[in-house]
Amino acid sequence: MRAQRSVFDHPLELRGPLPANGGVVLFPKPPGPTSHDVVEAVRRVLPGRTRVGHAGTLDPFAEGLLLILVGRATRAQRWFMELPKTYRAVARLGWRSDTGDPEGSLERTGRVPPKLALPTGRIMQVPPAYSAVKVGGERAYRLARRGETPRLKPRPVEVYRAELVDADGERAEFEIVCSSGTYVRQLVASLGDAYCERLVRTAIGPFRLEDADPGRVVPLEEALSFLPAVQLSPIEARRVEHGGVVKREQRTSGPVRLLEGDRLVAIGEPRDATLRPAVVFPRER
DSSP string, the chain: ---B--SSSS-B---SPPPTT-EEEEEEEPSSS-HHHHHHHHHHTS-TT--EEESS---TT-EEEEEEEEGGGGGGHHHHHTS-EEEEEEEEETEEESSSSTTS-EEE-----S------EEEEEPPPSSSS-EETTEEHHHHHHTT-------EEEEEEEEEEEEEETTEEEEEEEE-TT--HHHHHHTTSSEEEEEEEEEEETTEEGGG--TT--EEHHHHTTTS-EEE--HHHHHHHHTT--EE-SS--SS-EEEEETTEEEEEEEEETTEEEEEEE-PPP-
Catalytic site residue from 9, 59, 98, 262: 59
Cα separation, 261 vs 225, whole angstroms? 14
* CA dihedral for 211, 267, 229, 221, sign (positive or negative): negative
Q: Is 37 a catalytic residue?
A: no
Cα separation, 277 vs 281, whole angstroms? 10
Beta-carbon contacts of 10 under 8 Å, excluding residues fewer than 6 positions away, are: none
End-to-end alpha carbon distance in the chain: 24
Residues marked as catalytic: 59
